[in-house]
Amino acid sequence: MPPHVWTGAISFGLVSVPIAVLGATEDHSVHFRRIHTVDNGLVRNRYWCELEDREVSYGEIGQGYEMADGRVIPLTDEELRQLPLPTARAIELVGFLPAADVDPIRIGPGYYLQPQGSVAAKPYVLLRQALQRAANVAVARYAWHGRERLGLLRVRGDVIALHTLLWPDEIRDPAPVAPGPVHLEPGEIDEAMTLVEIMSRDSVEGPKFTDHYTQALRKVVEAKQEHRRLPQAPHPAARPGQPVDLMAALRQSVNEARAARGDNSADVPDLPAAATPTSR
């Protein structure tokens, strides 16, 4: 398991559960190094003190709060840990609600909460079972990394997981992004629902949910290392008789989705075609 990223307690009414927080996810993203393009030398960051006009080591670096007049007030890690804030040392549960009531756009990275010691095991399991029986999630407050945050606690397997939860004012209003009024024919909606049904999956596991970018990048790196010709991006498959209206595109999509799943059933029955273009 990964190292602890925070230790404290879950505050559940008068019950306190000592826990450690561990990362629940792994980053498999491709990371590049910055290089000098002339000679491929690595380019590194340097830490520079403006007052002494010299490079400083990482161990000499602290943190400070800059005032409006430019003065900087230094703050130590210990001073930040001792903030006069109840959530500085505890994940404080403030309410419970159905998971469906939480807008997924507010949910951030996940962590696992691990009980610390045998004394913590019983109240930890008690909270886990209470969440399971109520079929609810818990909303909490906690303070990490220089700010107070909202969190969402839910059960995953035999563990309580914590997700960061954005504050309401951190979510942008989607109204400016919404399209204007559009006319849809009933048959087009029915056909779209057929496509949704055929493309439905039981999970997001399997070959369709593989990181193809990383695989392709490895092929390019290997080819360059061995001085071979670089693999080329595939050209989009030719589509003779490309559909010119939404209904035709939906029908063709349904047939291709069925073929991809090995469904040899006949094409979907003809539905009344849209009388007019749908993009008006």
In tens digits, what is the pLDDT along the chain, a chain of 280 residues? 678 888 889 988 888 899 999 999 888 888 899 999 999 999 999 999 999 999 999 999 999 999 999 999 999 888 877 777 767 778 999 999 999 999 999 999 999 999 998 889 999 999 999 999 999 999 999 988 778 899 999 999 999 999 999 999 999 999 999 999 988 888 888 989 988 888 888 887 877 788 888 888 888 888 988 889 888 877 766 555 554 577 888 888 888 888 877 765 544 444 444 334 343 3
Backbone torsions φ then ψ of 265, nearest 5 degrees: -65, 160
At 243 the pLDDT is 45
β-strand partners of 42: 35
Strands 54-55 and 90-98: unpaired
Q: Report yes or no: 200 and 258 within 8 Å, Cβ to Cβ.
A: no
Q: Which domains does the chain have, with CATH numbers?
A: 4-29+81-169 (2.40.290.10), 183-233+243-260 (no CATH)
Distance CA 158, CA 271 (A): 49
Cβ neighbours for 50, distance < 8 A, ≥ 6 positions apart:
none
Distance CA 261, CA 208 (A): 12
Angle value at C-alpha 161, between 27 and 94, nearest 5 degrees: 130
Distance CA 152, CA 105 (A): 13
Strand ranges (E), the chain: 4-12, 15-23, 35-36, 41-42, 48-49, 54-55, 63-66, 72-75, 90-98, 107-115, 136-144, 147-156, 159-165
At 61 the pLDDT is 94
Residue showing tokens 């035709």: 248
pTM: 0.72
Widest pairwise Cα distance in the chain: 79
At 1 the pLDDT is 66
| Count of beta carbons in the 10 Å neighbourhood of residue 153 | 23
